[in-house]
Structure 1
């Protein structure tokens, strides 16, 4: 269920009810289970036990660390559960029932539906109860509301669960102590009401608001033990953050009285926080977001200095205009904010600087660039150290997760994999940031873990200005850099490839960025280079339908006297025109034909362009190829024609087109002597089978195993096809190479309706296959009792009829 839906309360209630209802079995409840080790630690094979797993694998989002642990040990846990109700024998061979183990789990909907959770989902999906699918009744709502607000009337409340982010139980809890008008406002506009309530809390309950602020600063996870700042086992970053924020509330944690006051407040009931496994959280992620803005605005310097980097990236707003959901940075704190970004970068955390949401604003980038120029030498030093550290960890990856994690406060179950700074900025298309980093001597040819350079990602994303700046870097001769040899030699390698040998020109052609492709070619990019799959830029442009780029490349081929490159094969032997045909790129195919591409070219499977278009049902492309004299009788390495393939896949337009051009193709069989008509029947393509029949197809043609079309249709359960073939007088007494009739094979497949159709036309049930089995024998062996009963009934009717018509023979006396 969603946050605030009452999962935890329901979980505990159900567990208590279960134990009460099974009182005679004396169950123990184990309420605190975080990971498998807890369960394995408390598991007692001699006791009946109920384990409680609340907020499984994360409270609001997937906790990757917990998820990994559960994936490793889930089988051990399931083995314990699967021993339920098993029986053993003691020394005297008396039956002894083994103790039972039950597990009750609650899980956030966002965690359960996450792609990351999928490996575990298969173990639980048969036991899931989704609260959203069983909404509370009116009576249940009234009873719940009376608990928190006895005078409130549920019918007066405007509540639409589909439109509101907060579930009814949570809103009831927040209604406690409110007047009816305030409750109505809470239910109709919870966000506005919660904002107002938190502002009142700040002035009305200073200690509870301090608790809220601490939980917010520590990214929705706070442990009371962190208040003890003299405890050296606590992380120094956490200790500093907690001490500084408490001072904002006039709480000196070195003073035992102040320490006791805030500790006691965490021990009392609080409306806004909940405790789970000795950790406090906001009761809802939306409330966390509201608190983040309110606390971040009120204690801005503390949050800038100590909030984790993901908070810094997403929560602040540099513009003077107010933006809902963001903390507006006051002017005097802007330098402090940039200082924090530099501090993160020194610690190997790049994303707070280069994936910051504020980079979208030009005024922010201008201010940041100005700051960086003022700290020119320091910025170069940090960037240089960052690259060196990354190379020591891994030549192709950035600073390791472990090294990063120790430098910032606990994050909310996320980890952002950062690109090298120059690649990050090029990817986002920030030309001014790219220019800044190049002036700071960032390596223009540095690659990420996938082997992508800044030029590669800018080309892929279509950022032409960024591409131009990167390529022009070799021509920059700024006066201040004349003595800097590193700067002068920092020239872009325009043909640098990624891990699959794909270049910037490749991806520009693939993504259809004509201006970038043209610019790269003009600046010397290799137009003939192939990637690991054997794709040239022309192959990719043809596959993805970039007609303008195809024409650009073909004209360049012509200018360089390399027209033959139009027939270049990839690793599978496919030419550009075969690839374009396989994707239905009609205009590209026309263009390639105009430039004299061979329409008869084949790949390693023997496929031509026409077969490729027919396979995927591109009738317009197929028509272009046929109109340009494509050989419609050509067969691939398995002897299949375009017609055969179109029949198999059910592409009626192409079938009709091919038959109209040449009816003789109907008779052409594949390597296994299957005809187009046979394959249409086998695949259940009724309309196509009828078209072929009208075109003169032989309805009794046999394949190499002596199977007929009606045999194939019976085997696959295509009742409509069988009925059609019977109407056209198809032979049903022809057996395959194992002496199986169509009736036999229908019995084997369990197709009762087909058995009925065939039996009407073939009353004899005594015919046996090579294994001496009749139709009834086959149905019985396959467990199709309905067919056995039907055939026995028909056989009995037939025997009765024969008895009735048998003449009485008298002997001569």
Structure 2
């Protein structure tokens, strides 16, 4: 009877089961009425299931139709003699049973829906990335996928090959060569292999979003500066090196970095060893685009017009960018474009100025984009015009020789440039490529330099402007640098002081011009003309505005100049009552920085002002400790004259003597031993100075330490003694010296093994 049907599986289960047993593929389209095949019947059952699962009641006509359909189908599937389908009358009992079926199916569906929601909530809880950020990343990756036109080249193939054996890889090249394209393309390939893509906007993202054991590829674009090397960014990445090393050791993760070649070659970048471990230079002889590859790229973007490109244009480093940008342009002579691409853009700007108000609006809107350092937020155009906005617009229009323009029209002009000069991402207007911004910054730097000095973003002003007499600086030959004529140097100093006074200390003292002595002398002369009270205030100003999240908090001009070795500026500050003990939030002072970097003249100047010599900086390192570690003998001498605590250790228990013994700085060990330090002081791993010198093979230092009668049997946390380490490393001369102090040769480690157990050769253990 029909009630027997209620004991059978639900309709959907029945459909699935029958289709599996019979190996029937359910059709995607509604079958003809006269089609009585099994596939057609299964489709009808499934169709009814999808209808009834969404309703709680059914009128009599539909109910009759439902039962009749099921009956007929089951007759065909099961046979007419099957007792399940004999009953044809619709009794009250039957109605109740069918309602029970409907209710049961609905309840089952709701339970499944609830399970799905619970699973989704559990997944959300495991996510370390907030949903709004995940949504942004998703949109960003979708954009990468839409623009992923990269063709297989020897460079892209080599990158994939390198990632087989390396967890961290750095792509280097000038702007426009294709670093970002290859990085993103590689990430998309890894995504198809199960990796999650995380674009790193600021260094701390990599620490915040790292999940051990989860397949992840981190993409870091333009690391440490998109024009020149940014010291503050380098410092911040340096602080994250332990995290980076942990991620690299996690075989589930990859880090792909793109870096402008001039940044990568900067000496300051050398401290970031993980990012130097595997370089792919995209303009090297090994990886640079071949003529065949360039021809293929040209065909992809510009088709038959490529025949007009001469051989000289093919040799351009940023040839891929030219092809991509030309693809977006119309009515431009291809040969002229590839010979002098930026002349084409310059002429285009000139033509805009000849197109009346609309053209003028576009030029001014591009100038605004430069003023905001390629980060013009669309919110800037909302609301009433503020006094500051009014002045910026007024000065920009005057510099372009136009009348003032309403900011609503400037926004409209930017929107019309979308896809040619400008693109908008997450509400931010920026150029379609950084190389194009380099050109625009240089173009407007020549056209309206005073306006840029007065109103330009602080990073723009202190990073891209170079005094014309700074030719000895290696950054002066960077493409599209903006030169400062002598006539505008006072204006530049005025802006320098303005940002300094506003607490933008990190940005101001990362200025490349400060590397040049003649610029610093000019600056000091300008500073001396200020009121004495203003000079004192400037000398003691600490950072109050963190323009970018990654800057170290609490730094000051004194700390920064001590780090950079600008002795002349330090002298000026010391003459203006600067607090020599001012420190960053991590405890670092000017004395710590100068001792670390080996600036002996500055250390001498600071010590004349009686600073606290035992102050500790990042990781609890004192000036004496860091100087001993770095091997700065002259500075160690100067510091010891101030009677510091020679036993003061860092956060992991390393003393100055430990540091010098480990690094092999014999002269410094002599100086420290002259102050009677604790020669048996161990770090958190139980390692003593003698242990480290024995392990590293520093024979002369072992001799010096043994003269102070240290505990030669003192072991580390694993039970290894100095003799054990020297024997293991094969340092025969040190083994002889240690045996002369009658150590316990039968001493065992924590696992119960002695030297003899390890079968140390007679050539090593005398």
Q: State the TM-score, normalizing by the size of structure 2.
A: 0.58
The answer to whether the Cα contact below 8 Å between 2:297 and 2:323 also exists between their aligned partners in 1 is: no
Query: Which of 468, 481, 492 pairs up with 1:337?
Result: 492
Whether contact under 8 Å (1:494, 1:520) holds in the other structure is yes
SS at structure 2 position matched to 1:54 = helix
Q: Structure 1 residues 224 and 194 mapped into 2: Cα distance closer, same or farther (>3 Å)?
A: farther
State how 1:314-333 maps to structure 2 within 5 Å: 314-320=463-469, 323-324=476-477, 325-333=480-488
Matched residue SS, 1:216: helix
Structure 1 counterpart SS, 2:430: strand
Mark the CA change 1:184 to 1:644 in structure 2 (over 3 Å): closer, same or farther: farther
2:398 corresponds to which residue? Answer: 247
CA distance in 1, matches of 2:297, 2:487: 53
1:546 aligns with 2:665: yes
Alpha-carbon spacing, 1:643–1:180, altered in 2? closer, same or farther (3 Å): farther
Matched, 1:521 2:631: no
Q: For residue 106 of structure 1, report the CA deviation from its aligned partner.
A: 13
Q: Tell me the distance in 1 between the aligned counterparts of 2:715 and 2:481.
A: 59
User: Residue by residue, what CA displacement relative to the aligned partner does 1:235-265 show, whole Å, maximum 9, x if unpaired?
Assistant: 7645543442133223334569xx7488347
The 5 Å alignment of 1:187-336 reads: 193-206=340-353, 207=359, 208-222=362-376, 226=380, 231-232=383-384, 237-254=388-405, 260=409, 263-264=412-413, 266-268=415-417, 271-320=420-469, 323-324=476-477, 325-336=480-491
Distance across 2 between alignment mates of 1:512 and 1:125: 36
Please tell me whether residue 164 in structure 1 is matched to residue 286 in structure 2. no
> For 1:198 and 1:250, how far apart are their aligned partners in 2?
20
Whether 2:754 is the aligned partner of 1:609: answer no
- For the structure 1 residues 618 and 300, does the alpha-carbon distance in structure 2 shift closer, same or farther, using more than 3 Å as the test? farther
Partner of 2:763: 657
Question: Which deviations, in whole Å up to 9, do the C-alpha atoms of 1:757-785 show, x marking residues without a partner?
Answer: xxxxxxxxxxxxxxxxxxxxxxxxxxxxx
Distance 2:650 2:754 in 1: 31
The CA deviation at 1:213 is: 2.2
Which deviations, in whole Å up to 9, do the C-alpha atoms of 1:508-530 show, x marking residues without a partner? Answer: 11111101101111233333444
Which residue is equivalent to 1:575?
688
Match of 1:535 in 2: 654
- SS in structure 1 opposite 2:580? coil
Q: Distance in 2 between matches of 1:595 and 1:458?
A: 31
Map of 1:680 onto structure 2: none
Instruction: Look up the match of 1:399.
Output: 544
Measure, in 1, the Cα distance between the counterparts of 2:348 and 2:734. Answer: 69
Q: 1: CA distance between counterparts of 2:552 and 2:729?
A: 39
Aligned pair 1:635/2:742, yes or no? Answer: no
Instruction: Show the counterpart of 2:299.
Output: 142
Residues of 1 paired with 2:203 and 2:659: CA distance? 40
Q: Pick closer, same or farther for the CA change 1:543–1:69 going to 2, 3 Å.
A: closer
Give the Å deviation of 1:292.
1.7
User: CA 1:604 to 1:321, structure 2 compared with 1: closer, same or farther past 3 Å?
Assistant: closer
Deviation per CA, 1:449-497, whole angstroms, max 9, x where unpaired?
A: 2212111111111100000000112xxxxxxxxxxxxxxxxx3122223
Instruction: Supply the distance in 1 between the matched residues of 2:344 and 2:439 (Cα, whole angstroms).
Output: 11
- 2:536 touches 2:578 (CA, 8 Å); kept in 1? no
The structure 2 residue matched to 1:511, chosen from 623, 630, 642, is 630
> What's the counterpart of residue 63 of structure 1?
201
In the TM superposition, what is the alpha-carbon distance from 1:532 to its structure 2 partner? 4.3
Query: What is the aligned partner in structure 1 of residue 154 from structure 2?
Result: none
**Equivalence for 1:431:** 567
Tell me which residue corresponds to 2:143: 54
Matched residue, 2:111: none
Matching residue within 547, 551, 557 for 1:421: 557
Q: Kindly indicate whether the alpha-carbon contact (under 8 Å) linking 1:54 and 1:106 is maintained by their aligned counterparts in 2.
A: no
Q: What is the match of residue 464 of structure 1?
A: 600
| Shift in CA distance, 303/155, structure 1 to aligned 2, threshold 3 Å | closer
Flag the 1:590–1:300 CA change in 2: closer, same or farther, 3 A: same
Cα deviation, residue 308, structure 1: 1.4
Residue of 700, 707, 732 corresponding to 1:587: 700
Distance in 1, Cα, partners of 2:504 & 2:29: 55
TM-score (norm 1): 0.55
The 1:616–1:178 alpha-carbon spacing in structure 2 relative to 1, beyond 3 Å, is: farther
Shift of 1:354: 2.1
Cα distance change of structure 1 residues 587 and 284 upon mapping to structure 2, 3 Å threshold? farther
Q: CA RMSD in A?
A: 4.9
Partner Cα distance (1:138, 1:625) in 2: 69
Secondary structure class of the residue paired with 2:488: helix
**TM-aligned CA distance change 1:182 to 1:417, over 3 Å:** farther
Whether the aligned pair in 2 keeps the contact of 1:447 and 1:454 (CA below 8 Å) is: yes
The Cα shift of 1:419 comes to 1.6
Structure 2 CA distance, aligned partners of 1:611 and 1:306? 66
SS of structure 2 residue aligned to 1:289:
helix
Q: Which runs of 5+ in 2 are unaligned?
A: 1-27, 31-128, 146-179, 185-198, 226-232, 259-281, 354-358
CA distance 1:378–1:284, change in 2 (3 Å): farther
Change (3 A) 1:610 1:70: closer
Could you give the per-residue CA deviations for residues 733-791 of structure 1, whole angstroms, max 9, x where no partner exists? xxxxxxxxxxxxxxxxxxxxxxxxxxxxxxxxxxxxxxxxxxxxxxxxxxxxxxxxxxx
1:495 counterpart = 2:614: yes
Q: Secondary structure at the match of 1:348?
A: coil
What secondary structure sits across from 1:152 in the alignment?
Answer: helix
Q: Distance in 1 between matches of 2:415 and 2:711?
A: 79
> How many angstroms apart in 2 are the aligned matches of 1:211 and 1:282?
12
Q: CA deviation at 1:342?
A: 2.1
Gaps of 5+ in 1: 1-21, 25-33, 44-49, 79-104, 186-192, 388-397, 406-410, 474-490, 648-653, 662-813
Q: Secondary structure at the match of 2:703?
A: helix
SS at match of 2:646: coil
Are the structure 2 counterparts of residues 471 and 281 from structure 1 closer, same or farther at C-alpha, using a change threshold of 3 Å? same
1:446 correspondence with 2:603: no
Which structure has more relative contact order (CA 8 Å, sep 6+)? It is 2
Maintained 8 Å contact 2:712/2:738: yes
Displacement after TM superposition at 1:568 (Å):
4.1
Could you tell me which residue of structure 1 aligns to residue 54 of structure 2?
none
Change (3 A) 1:212 1:265: closer
2:49 match: none
Where 2:429 maps in the other structure, the secondary structure is strand
Partners of 1:542 and 1:328 lie apart in 2 by 49
Cα deviation for residue 441 of structure 1 reads 1.8
Distance 1:106 1:535 in 2: 34
The answer to whether the 8 A contact 1:227-1:242 is kept is: no
In structure 2, the CA distance between the partners of 1:643 and 1:153, relative to structure 1 (3 Å rule), is farther
